Structure 1
Amino acid sequence: MNIRQNKRENKEDNYSYVEKVWIAAGSVALLAILILIVRVAFNVLLMVVAGSLIAVYFHGLADAICRWTNWRRGICMLISVLGTFIIAGLLFWFMGSRIQQQVSTLSQDFPTLLDKLEQQVRSYPLGDRMLNNFSGDNMQKVTTTVQKFFRTSFGVIGDMYIIMFLGIFFTIQPDLYKKGIVRLIPRRGQQKARDVLDRLSFVLKGWLKGMMVAMVLIGVLTFVGLTIIGIPMALALAVIAGLLNFIPNFGPLMAMAPAVLLGLVDSTQIAIIVAALYILIQTLESNIITPTIQRRMIDLPPALLIIGQVMMGALSGALGIILATPLLAITMTLVNELYIKPNEEAEELIITEKPD
């Protein structure tokens, strides 16, 4: 009898072990599937954020028009959307052909500029050794990394269409999506959710306002400076500098590269002057223009911003770096509203209720 009972217990132990193995294997497989889903869906989340920024821009401009005119909200919203497209169309009509011609010339001359830069770098022993390290297989690895960096979920054009349509839908019916998010929250926390969403809207509007003004100022200052120095294609370079200023830290460096290469066509001294001009403009933007405009916006630590850009670039490439700043602002706002403020209020309540 004891022998049969021992066999039965051993058999049950074996079944238990097999079940544990299957549970562990299933858990690992489920975790891997979730990671893959998050990895794929993360790019979709970034497109949702980009579409939300478009809607925030239109609504922020409509709010400003309402404050200036005291007109009805619907009329101001219509002026915001149509006015933006009309102004963009007029700018493209008057300056588009010139910018396109200069960009085309710049793209055609770019290989020649790179060859000239390579010759000047190779004239120094250290530069020659550095370029040799990037030849052959190393250069192929760099090319593959760059191609992967600029790869997106649906292609660049497809992503732009999706972002544009999301922005239009979010602009037309913002309350529909806001109420949908609030309804996902338990009833006792719905008012807090509304307050947090309003705070996020305020922060993003302030950030966008500062970025738009800073981009225009950077473009104007760059155009004036390059024209004074005598750099060709100054308008195209100024437009590139203004647009890339949307990406803090890395954008100005990317915009400076073609301008410095064009300066090398004349001389090394001109290239140094061009680099100094870009550094001076970027210093003014970082220390005077942006802080003055975005006084009410959440303060983003520079080191944390760089870490966020590197992480987002590794996860989602160029789109991640472009949206790293608003995502970081959203994250810090959520942490501040949902964690820091409640803790501070609880501590103040404890202090006030503490008996003397």
Structure 2
Amino acid sequence: MARFIKKLLITLLVLALALAAWRLADLGMLLFGAVLISIGLRRAAESLGRRARIGTAAGLALVVLLFVAALAASLTFFGTVAAGQFNELVQQVPQGLRIALAWLQAQPYGPYVLAQARGIAPAELTSAAGRAVTLGMQVVASTLGYGILTFLVAIYLAAQPQLYRQLCLRLVPPAHRATADRLLERTGDVLLHWLLGQFIVMLIIGSLSGLGLWALGIEAPFALGLVGGLLTFIPYFGAVLAAVPATLVALTQGPLNAVLVIAMYAGVHFIEGNFVTPIVQAEATSLPPVLSLLSTVAFSILFGLSAVLLATPLTLFLLVAMELLYVGGTLGGTAKTAERLVDVH
């Protein structure tokens, strides 16, 4: 009887922990994001400290100061321009939607399509688009708040990584601590390579998108390019999401401009898919496209929007855990065989 009660209590405890983890998913995503940023900060601090011969702690302080200074300089020189262009987006996107709806209404199949849109009138859709853009700006502001908190947590993690690493290892039975330590080590290496590669891709895509929109004479090219670069962080879906507001803004300047913008985005992502990403992945961490796509959908269903942003690094972590704990452990594969699940070049 006592044994049964003990097993029952353990089962209830596990279920309670699982429920708590699910309810606190946003906090977990924030912590995982902080870990991801701290890996980049720590490596930058170690590199700077080694080159400047000032030590890792001083290197971390300098890296943070340089980041804050660069952010302040960007806001000083480009903040006014960006704010003005984002205000233009708030006005232009609903206007572009009105033009698109008017064109659709004029087509033979237009009234039928609109009638099937759950009975929503075009005017209501336009109004909803305006509210959606405003809500999007509020979400961006809220995200910035979470981003600041995440960055602060990342600084603490980067300052004393061994302390938090040892705390995690203490939760593991002594017989398995060596494997857990190896898991943490390899996860950090994989995520660092992925983070560097992703940053390069985002920078290139954002720059190409902004320059392309500027060359086409589209309004608010800086803001749209920034949005395009940031949304590249979301695999596959980010490219589509970035093209929607740009196309609607271009539509206010004429149908031909909208077509040119769509062609430009298609060209940019053709370059990204066939040249930029393969070159970057040659020096970074690669993930099979199908796995990346399915993981994005799966994590969005399970944990919401915050998990979409971190779907790829979360998948990389799960693959590393699988290669070490399952392929290299349960299946008895060698470390070299297991590491093929995640390529780090």
TM-score of the two chains, using structure 2 as the length reference = 0.81
In structure 2, relative to structure 1, the CA distance for the partners of 1:65 and 1:121 (3 Å cut) is farther
| Cα deviation, residue 262, structure 1 | 1.7
Q: Percent identical across equivalent pairs?
A: 27
Quick one: distance in 2 between partners of 1:83 and 1:266?
Answer: 40
In structure 2, relative to structure 1, the CA distance for the partners of 1:75 and 1:256 (3 Å cut) is same
| Cα deviation, residue 59, structure 1 | 1.2
Moved more, 93-102 or 220-229: 220-229
Aligned-residue RMSD, C-alpha:
3.3
| Cα deviation, residue 71, structure 1 | 4.4
| Cα deviation, residue 34, structure 1 | 5.7
From 47, 50, 63, give the equivalent of 1:80. 63
Matched to 2:313, the amino acid is P
Bigger-Rg structure (1/2):
1
Aligned to 2:242: 255
From 310, 316, 324, give the equivalent of 1:337. 324
For 1:49-69, what per-residue CA distance to the aligned partner results, in whole angstroms no more than 9, with x for missing partners? 011122112113223434654
Aligned to 1:38: 21
Name stretches of at least 5 consecutive residues in structure 2 with no aligned partner: 338-345
Q: Does 1:98 align with 2:81?
A: yes
Quick one: distance in 1 between partners of 2:76 and 2:18?
Answer: 46
> 2:202–2:233: 8 Å Cα contact kept in structure 1?
yes
How many matched pairs? 318
For 1:178-227, what per-residue CA distance to the aligned partner results, in whole angstroms no more than 9, with x for missing partners? 11111222223222222221111111111111111111111211121111
Aligned to 1:6: none
Matched to 2:92, the amino acid is D
Matched to 1:322, the amino acid is L
Quick one: distance in 1 between partners of 2:305 and 2:248?
Answer: 23
Matched to 1:91, the amino acid is S
From 224, 239, 254, give the equivalent of 1:267. 254
TM-score of the two chains, using structure 1 as the length reference = 0.79
In structure 2, relative to structure 1, the CA distance for the partners of 1:108 and 1:289 (3 Å cut) is same
Quick one: distance in 1 between partners of 2:12 and 2:21?
Answer: 14
Matched to 1:168, the amino acid is I
Aligned to 1:5: none
Quick one: distance in 1 between partners of 2:323 and 2:10?
Answer: 34
* 4+ aligned runs moved over 3 Å, structure 1: 25-36, 66-71, 125-128, 135-140, 155-162
Moved more, 264-273 or 63-72: 63-72
For 1:156-180, what per-residue CA distance to the aligned partner results, in whole angstroms no more than 9, with x for missing partners? 5664454233223212221111111
Is the partner of 1:228 in helix, strand or coil? helix
Aligned to 1:351: none
Q: Does 1:283 align with 2:266?
A: no
Matched to 2:171, the amino acid is L
For 1:266-299, what per-residue CA distance to the aligned partner results, in whole angstroms no more than 9, with x for missing partners? 3222211111111111122233222322335443
Matched to 2:175, the amino acid is R
For 1:98-152, what per-residue CA distance to the aligned partner results, in whole angstroms no more than 9, with x for missing partners? 0111001111222211111111122223343333222437999xx8xx9xxx999
Quick one: distance in 2 between partners of 1:165 and 1:65?
Answer: 20
Aligned to 1:317: 304
> 1:298–1:333: 8 Å Cα contact kept in structure 2?
no
> 1:231–1:263: 8 Å Cα contact kept in structure 2?
yes
Aligned to 2:340: none
Quick one: distance in 2 between partners of 1:66 and 1:28?
Answer: 48
Quick one: distance in 1 between partners of 2:294 and 2:277?
Answer: 20
Aligned to 2:98: 115
